[in-house]
Structure 1
Amino acid sequence: MNINAVKIVTSFVTILQYFDSLGYLICMFLSLFFKSADAEVTGSKSSSEDKTEFVPIFRSGSCAERGPKQYMEDEHICIDDLIHHIGSASNIPFPGAFYGVFDGHGGTDAALFVRNNLLRLIVEDSQFPTCVGKAITSAFMKADYAFADSSSLDISSGTTALTALVFGRTMLIANAGDCRAVLGRRGRAIEMSRDQKPNCTSERLRIEKLGGVVYDGYLNGQLSVSRALGDWHMKGPKGSACPLSSEPELQETLLTEDDEFLIMGCDGLWDVMSNQCAVTMARKELMIHNDPQRCSRELVREALKRNSCDNLTVIVVCFSPDPPPRIEIPPSRVRRSISAESLTLLKGVLEC
């Protein structure tokens, strides 16, 4: 940055100091802008270039509680080392991991069946691992059909399904139902799945197009989710399109060093806790003890304190062996009248 530009900015900043909070916000923006400009002039390595070398190390913990319900119908799975689990001959990228939360209803048969068979169906699919997204979608449908053919199981039971499959830095979230995955990115909550409720505009349109109805927020007046596996008393012949779909929605992201952990939970957690509240609490816990198992247990306990009325299942997946670092707020010579929390939020927005 040349000397004239520095003088202009310095004069401008002096004037802005009289405008208190507004001046502080603009000064902070200019500081970040010219800092990035200097980095480009000197040819220093950008933050995005640094993050390309990031390799996640998976650590997970989980907690499941029956809660106030009479029966526990949730199932879950945590695999931190996927290659070791399915065999090195599988020709999948390293490192790999797989996690899933399955919120059953109308009995436990569907959730347990999907939990025990879904990963195998993904790996055995002909499109795996070259087209992982297509393999996952196909496996969800195959698991649903296989469950329908199980004569010894109650095929009227059903389950939602939320999975996270990670290869190297690529994480693919698949969701059918109202479980939710939320990424903790330097203290900010990034939603990685969409709750599939009948009242959702796109889901309502799909349901009505296929001859279904949404009554008081329920699909055909019976089910509070618009996608699920099982529930074959509400579905037509296998392969036919029906309002209750087992096809998952997919969301892919490339993990960087800013991505600290992932929270996966059934609706019993999210009914009483916002995404940001869960991430803030999890980050605080991990900074204290760096144990994802304890962290998931504390999230479940907090949900119970908030009177969650459902089964509770929570998985916390960390991507580094180290605890989340403390977020430092740079000192400023400009008087400010906004809180430290507001400053942290502003800093996160500007960094985006």
Structure 2
Amino acid sequence: MAAGTDFSPPFAMLNGGGYNNSSSNKDNSRNLSPAAGADENSDAVKQIPNGRPPRHTIPSARLLAAADLAMDVGLVVNKLPSDEKTDFLPIFRSGSCAEEGPKRYMEDEHVCIDDLNQYLGSTTASFSSMGAFYGVFDGHGGTDAALFVRNNILRYIVDDSQFPMCVEKAIKSAFLRADYTFADDSSLDISSGTTVLTALMLGRTLIIANAGDCRAVLGRRGRAIEMSKDHKPNCTSERLRIEKLGGVIYDGYLNGQLSVSRALGDWHMKGPKGSACPLSPEPELQETNLTEEDEFLIMGCDGLWDVMSSQCAVTIVRKELMLHNDPERCSRELVREALKRNTCDNLTVIVVCFSQDPPPRIEIPQTRVRRSISLEGLNLLKGVLDGNS
């Protein structure tokens, strides 16, 4: 990597390249980039190029196991009124796990920062409240793009002139800056690419930014709340955008080459800087204010979500937290479960808790079931009884 591109933190790198420093130190959701349409996954599997790591591929679709279906039943809980005020202030603590899995190369990167004030120090203005930052970067065609974005994306966000007054614009600007700066670095393979999923937390405000098919899922009292949309070429809204810009989708792949419709890098598939391109580096953002109902956040690459539903992951993490209250052990358990389900990709998972305490037990009040019989049924029963007398 060229000199000057590494945003070196004051702490050691842990868990396969993620930064992690612990801190002792949920709900009106608004989608800043509304998504239209539903995802449609392809079963195509891309062949491995000669002498190069395979690009981002879609493994064969798998049916959820019967046990998984039982886990996917959401629990009905009382939601806080949308206008109810709360004094809740989250405390961030996280754990991560990254495994190569069945692939020959590990191309994922990730970052975990539980305390932005302590991490950034004097490099930027201190925040008036607790802040945290997390990211998952699923590389393809090599690790150059994922490593570059991991090392620079946070710095690009906080250095942007619109931060912190307009955080959403600063995040979008940082994604584009990272994409363009990567293209200008002659020491890197600019044909490599990466999907990018980040979570920026400022006090109670959680902002998810996603470009690609990694996914962020909020655990809200046992229910899975998806905070990002998978950017697959066959997704209706993505297909319309791609075709409008002259791109084609062949067997689930953008221009027959890539199984995602948004990514940073991959400059062999992009036109001149600033031009509209079927492969977009622009993230979709979603913001929410956390409340006591929101217990944890799961961030994972597609290697996890290819074999596990969002609800299943939330159910597993909540059960594990109630046992040991350790987010790192929870991330390891999700990776272990995905490997048992024969995932075909690298695996990277981050679990972020918003409280020092484990999730409380959810008690669902029993309801009395009133049974009734129709007049027709009553007459039928009467006829049977009369016939036996």
Deviations 1:154-204 (A, max 9, x none): 000000000000000000000000000000000000000000011111111
> Are the counterparts in 2 of residues 54 and 257 from structure 1 also a CA contact under 8 Å?
yes
Q: Distance in 1 between matches of 2:244 and 2:197?
A: 25
Which of residues 157, 177, 180 is equivalent to 1:142? 177
- C-alpha displacement at 1:331, in angstroms? 4.4
Q: Distance in 2 between matches of 1:236 and 1:47?
A: 48
1:312 and 2:347 are equivalent in the alignment:
yes
Q: Distance in 1 between matches of 2:147 and 2:203?
A: 28
Which of residues 244, 260, 263 is equivalent to 2:298? 263
Deviations 1:309-344 (A, max 9, x none): 100000000000000000012245x2479xxxxxxx
- C-alpha displacement at 1:47, in angstroms? 6.3
Deviations 1:98-149 (A, max 9, x none): 0000000000000000000000000000000000000000000000000001
Aligned alpha-carbon RMSD (Å)? 1.8
Deviations 1:19-68 (A, max 9, x none): xxxxxxxxxx9xx9xxx9xxxxxxxxx86677621000001000000000
Tell me the matched-pair count: 294
- C-alpha displacement at 1:208, in angstroms? 1.0
Q: Which amino acid aligns with 1:102?
A: F
1:174 and 2:209 are equivalent in the alignment:
yes
Q: Distance in 1 between matches of 2:246 and 2:255?
A: 10
Q: Distance in 1 between matches of 2:126 and 2:271?
A: 37
C-alpha change, 1:218 and 1:54, in structure 2 (3 Å) is: same
Equivalent residue for 1:302? 337
1:57 and 2:94 are equivalent in the alignment:
no
1:103 and 2:138 are equivalent in the alignment:
yes
Q: Distance in 1 between matches of 2:143 and 2:291?
A: 37
Superposed counterparts of 1:26-45, under 5 Å: none
Superposed counterparts of 1:190-229, under 5 Å: 190-229=225-264
Q: Which amino acid aligns with 1:84?
A: Q
Equivalent residue for 1:246? 281
SS in structure 2 of the partner of residue 223 of structure 1: coil
Q: Distance in 1 between matches of 2:119 and 2:83?
A: 32
Q: Which amino acid aligns with 2:217?
A: V
Equivalent residue for 1:129? 164
Deviations 1:198-239 (A, max 9, x none): 111111111111111111111000000000000000001111
> Are the counterparts in 2 of residues 51 and 256 from structure 1 also a CA contact under 8 Å?
no
Q: Which amino acid aligns with 2:115?
A: D
| Structure (1 or 2) with the greater helix fraction | 1
- C-alpha displacement at 1:92, in angstroms? 2.8
Q: Distance in 2 between matches of 1:160 and 1:50?
A: 36
Equivalent residue for 1:82? 116
Any unmatched runs of 5+ in structure 1?
1-28, 37-45, 338-352
Deviations 1:75-94 (A, max 9, x none): 00000001111126514341
Q: Which amino acid aligns with 1:235?
A: K
TM-score using structure 1 length: 0.81
Superposed counterparts of 1:146-157, under 5 Å: 146-157=181-192
SS in structure 2 of the partner of residue 224 of structure 1: coil
Bigger Cα displacement from structure 2, 51-60 vs 64-73: 51-60
Q: Distance in 1 between matches of 2:341 and 2:85?
A: 38
Equivalent residue for 2:45? none
Q: Distance in 2 between matches of 1:57 and 1:336?
A: 45
Q: Distance in 1 between matches of 2:198 and 2:307?
A: 22
Q: Distance in 1 between matches of 2:189 and 2:298?
A: 30
> Are the counterparts in 2 of residues 286 and 323 from structure 1 also a CA contact under 8 Å?
yes
Any unmatched runs of 5+ in structure 2?
1-75, 372-389
Q: Distance in 2 between matches of 1:176 and 1:66?
A: 22
SS in structure 1 of the partner of residue 349 of structure 2: strand
SS in structure 2 of the partner of residue 298 of structure 1: helix
Q: Distance in 1 between matches of 2:224 and 2:82?
A: 20
What fraction of aligned residue pairs are identical, expressed as a percent?
81
Deviations 1:265-300 (A, max 9, x none): 000000000000000000000000000000000000
SS in structure 1 of the partner of residue 155 of structure 2: helix
SS in structure 2 of the partner of residue 245 of structure 1: coil
> Are the counterparts in 2 of residues 51 and 257 from structure 1 also a CA contact under 8 Å?
no
1:70 and 2:104 are equivalent in the alignment:
yes
> Are the counterparts in 2 of residues 96 and 167 from structure 1 also a CA contact under 8 Å?
yes
TM-score using structure 2 length: 0.73
